[in-house]
Amino acid sequence: PTITFIEHNGTRHEVRAEVGQSAMQAATFAGVPGIPGDCGGACACASCHAYVDEAWVERFAPAEGTEYDMLENVVERQPTSRLTCQLVVGADMDGLTLRLPAAQF
């Protein structure tokens, strides 16, 4: 599936993702700026924060546990905030759109 990442400045990145990959892995592999993914997906850095497009929010189980706690620390948290290393790409997620915050951390 193809995932679209939209930077805060409006720059769009269409990224080819593998099923079973996390959205963070797809972004870092493709070199999308603004998603360092510093901890490698261990839910320990929050540098993969993004906003799930409204149309896709209900496709993912709500953030809970460690992810929920880590989201307490991000700048500009919104109801649609997620850590993209915890979003697993499914075969039916072509067109998934994630928006990046103005700043990470």
Q: Is 41 in the site for ligand FES (CB under 6 A)?
A: yes
Closest distance of CB 48 from ligand FES, Å: 3
Of 85, 87, 96, 100, which lies in the binding site for ligand FES, with binding defined by CB under 6 A?
85
| Least distance between ligand FES and beta carbon 15 (Å) | 16
The single residue among 32, 46, 74, 93 that binds ligand FES, judged by CB under 6 A, is: 46
What is the token pair recorded at 76?
A: 């500009």
Nearest-approach distance from CB 93 to ligand FES, in angstroms: 18
Which of 26, 32, 52, 83 binds ligand FES (CB under 6 A)? It is: 83
Number of residues that bind ligand FES (CB under 6 A): 13
Q: Where are the beta strands (DSSP E) in the chain?
A: 2-6, 12-16, 49-52, 81-83, 97-99
Residue with tokens 């959205």: 23
| In contact, 87 and 20? CB cutoff 8 Å | no
Exposed, middle or buried by CB within 10 Å (0-12, 13-18, 19+), for 70?
A: buried
Q: Does 43 bind ligand FES (CB under 6 A)?
A: yes
Find tokens 């103005």 and name the residue. Answer: 102
Three-state secondary-structure class, residue 56 = helix
Residues in contact with ligand FES by the rule CB under 6 A: 24, 37-39, 41, 43-48, 83, 85
